[in-house]
Structure 1
Amino acid sequence: MKILVTGGAGFIASQIAQAYLGQGHQVFVLDNLSSGHRDFVPTDAQFIEMDILDPEVEKLLQKEKFDAINHHAAQISVTGSVRNPLNDAKTNILGTLHLLQKAVESGVEKFIFASTGGAIYGDQERFPANETHSCNPYSPYGIAKYSAEHYIRFFIKTYNLSGTVLRYSNVYGPRQDPDGEAGVVAIFCKRILEGKPLIIYGDGEQTRDFISVRDIVAANEIALSPQCHGIYNVGRGEETTVNHLAESLAHLAGATAGIEYAEARAGEQKRSCIDPEKFNTAFGWRANVTLEKGLFETLEYFKTLGN
């Protein structure tokens, strides 16, 4: 297949692009490099530096006639979306809509969308939440992702597009940005290796469903299948407190700088955990990387950067 991966210079999508190449697909990466890294782009992929709202996207899609688009280009910070909802909507709603419109006009058959589980379900009524759980996003980030899902449904019904929405839990792993606000594992790894205390916002008892990027890549390989369409949760289905996460990383690294607590941040959920059973049952996918193994791999990655 000929595949366009948007956001393919970023943490998750660069590794998906590499996996697609490994499967023998022809891969193009589109990224504006606002947060991505050029050296993350696989050498065998064709790279286009471009924003998803650029009018040139239409020319690119009409010229290349992609079979599939894997859409990961996004504004990914929940707290950033709270500070600037307009900027978040510009990328996560209008950018996605622009890409969808030009995709169907150019004959794209498959559209894979990286969505979010926790931010869409909001304050959960049950744990873990499956795909039938009510959606109550209260951060602009969650609202934008949920809005984009509705546009995808519209294009699926109206234009016979094959669409797959993957609602991720909290993804972590090598290449995650340790300097942004989204990605507590990477942030903790960096501070540990700098000999600094870990900063936890709130009491640390907030929970997240952490999943290794390796498991996310495997899910995106499955998503290319014609049989894979609809909305699927992609997570471990297990809650981990931020306190436990911090203690586990500190133990793995032998860190002694300790933990400090700061005021809770606006827009942050107390608990989040999603149920991946639908995806598991349909395609035999399971999150195979244990939290301990994944944290070790991530810590080792950041050690190599330090060296």
Structure 2
Amino acid sequence: MTGTRHHLILGGCGFIGRHVALLLAEAGETVMLCDRAPLSVTYPEAVRHRIGHCTADLATADWDAMLEGVAVVHHYVWASLPASANADPARDLALNTTPTLALLEAMRRRGKAAPRLVFSSSGGTVYGRLRQVPVPEEHTLAPITAYGAGKAAVELYLGLYRALYGLDCRVARLANPFGAGQDLARGQGAATTFLHHALTGQPITIWGDGEVVRDFIHIADAAAGMAALATCPEVGENWVVNIGSGQGTSLNTIIAELEARLGRRLAVRREPGRAFDVPVSVLDIRRARDVLGWAPRLSFAEGMSRTLSDLAGAATLSTMG
């Protein structure tokens, strides 16, 4: 990365955005965090002057003004969760896809001065039930949740604007990031949530038999992958990239790992399985290795160890070590 660009991070105060911001600032780039929420972390003094914050809403943003001087837009904000999207698909569409189209139109109006756009999609939902494991980017998009359908719709519109107007749109199909500082109230991030419940003595809820397999990636590696995609000079036709660990871990394995580390049995509550939970989701990350020169550095066990240490020490921002 070179220190010549200005980045606008939508959802910049979120779990992914604030970690990517730190990496970019450490590389000498300037960053504006755009979010409805206030900035809740304190960045190291050495990079603080490179990171700004502004308050805005995706649905009402003045994109023409906000894009002025911006080289890269990071689209990490999403106003729904799988459960809420399924409950009201029309609202999910209005909150997420329609505002993104307004952003794309503002970029189109800028012509050759349009910034690059990096969209954080969902590697765990857009593919649906996998026909191939690990799943490559060429796999058919077949989401079985409204949440996944919304993410896939935005991907399709990004492809449309690439083809029609030459916009440099890029998609990161992100696996399941985990680590200290994840918003537990959103109900996402099984690895972090299980850890938090284990440390605080709360029962852990598992839907189904616990053999659901997911691709978990520590936030340090996820942020590095997102930053690599945002700053890669040229991706050509490889503009959709899986960012994950490339390894599958079951929920039961997480429980066993925690019990071994904590030296005690955990309280686990088993609930009936949910129709929208695909049985296996593991990403093929060879394209990210080949095109971006990126690969995860932490194994699941190492990531859990770091997260356990961070949570035990009440850390809120785990830097890239």
2:40 alignment partner AA = D
Q: Deviations over 1:140-194 (max 9, x none)?
A: 1110111001111111122221121111111111211122221112211221111
1:78 Cα offset (Å): 1.5
Alignment of 1:10-159 (within 5 A): 10-33=14-37, 38-40=39-41, 42=43, 43-44=48-49, 45-61=51-67, 64-75=68-79, 77-106=81-110, 107-159=113-165
| Counterpart Cα distance in 1 of 2:263 and 2:84 | 32
Q: Deviations over 1:18-68 (max 9, x none)?
A: 1111111111111112xxx6213744311111111114333222xx32111
* Residue segments in structure 2 that go unaligned for 5+ positions in a row: 317-321
Question: Is the 8 Å Cα contact of residues 82 and 267 (structure 1) preserved in structure 2?
Answer: no
Question: Is the 8 Å Cα contact of residues 79 and 267 (structure 1) preserved in structure 2?
Answer: no
Aligned residues: CA RMSD: 1.9
Q: 1:169 is matched with which residue?
A: 175
2:172 alignment partner AA = L
User: Is 1:9 aligned to 2:13, yes or no?
Assistant: yes
| Counterpart Cα distance in 2 of 1:206 and 1:288 | 24
| Counterpart Cα distance in 1 of 2:265 and 2:315 | 18
| Counterpart Cα distance in 2 of 1:10 and 1:55 | 18
* Residue segments in structure 1 that go unaligned for 5+ positions in a row: none
1:85 Cα offset (Å): 2.0
1:11 Cα offset (Å): 0.4
Q: 2:282 is matched with which residue?
A: 273
- Structure 1 residue ranges, 4+ long, deviating more than 6 angstroms after superposition: none
Q: Which moved more, 1:167-176 or 1:91-100?
A: 91-100
| Counterpart Cα distance in 1 of 2:173 and 2:285 | 9
Alignment of 1:186-205 (within 5 A): 186-205=192-211
Q: Deviations over 1:107-144 (max 9, x none)?
A: 33311111111201100111111011111111011101
| Counterpart Cα distance in 1 of 2:260 and 2:183 | 22
Question: Is the 8 Å Cα contact of residues 232 and 292 (structure 2) preserved in structure 1?
Answer: no
Q: Which moved more, 1:248-257 or 1:229-238?
A: 248-257
Q: Which moved more, 1:113-122 or 1:96-105?
A: 96-105
Q: 2:308 is matched with which residue?
A: 299
| Counterpart Cα distance in 2 of 1:82 and 1:159 | 32
3-state SS, counterpart of residue 185 of structure 2: coil
Q: Deviations over 1:59-117 (max 9, x none)?
A: 222xx321110110113522222123233222331122222222333433311111111
Q: 1:197 to 1:306 in 2, by over 3 A?
A: farther
1:252 alignment partner AA = R
| Counterpart Cα distance in 2 of 1:163 and 1:287 | 23
TM-score, normalised by the number of residues in structure 1: 0.92
User: Is 1:231 aligned to 2:240, yes or no?
Assistant: yes
Q: 1:198 to 1:89 in 2, by over 3 A?
A: same
1:38 alignment partner AA = L
Question: Is the 8 Å Cα contact of residues 181 and 315 (structure 2) preserved in structure 1?
Answer: no
1:266 Cα offset (Å): 4.1
| Counterpart Cα distance in 2 of 1:188 and 1:9 | 23
Question: Is the 8 Å Cα contact of residues 3 and 67 (structure 1) preserved in structure 2?
Answer: yes
3-state SS, counterpart of residue 308 of structure 2: helix
1:204 Cα offset (Å): 0.4
TM-score, normalised by the number of residues in structure 2: 0.88
Count of residue pairs brought into register by the alignment: 302
| Counterpart Cα distance in 1 of 2:212 and 2:42 | 34
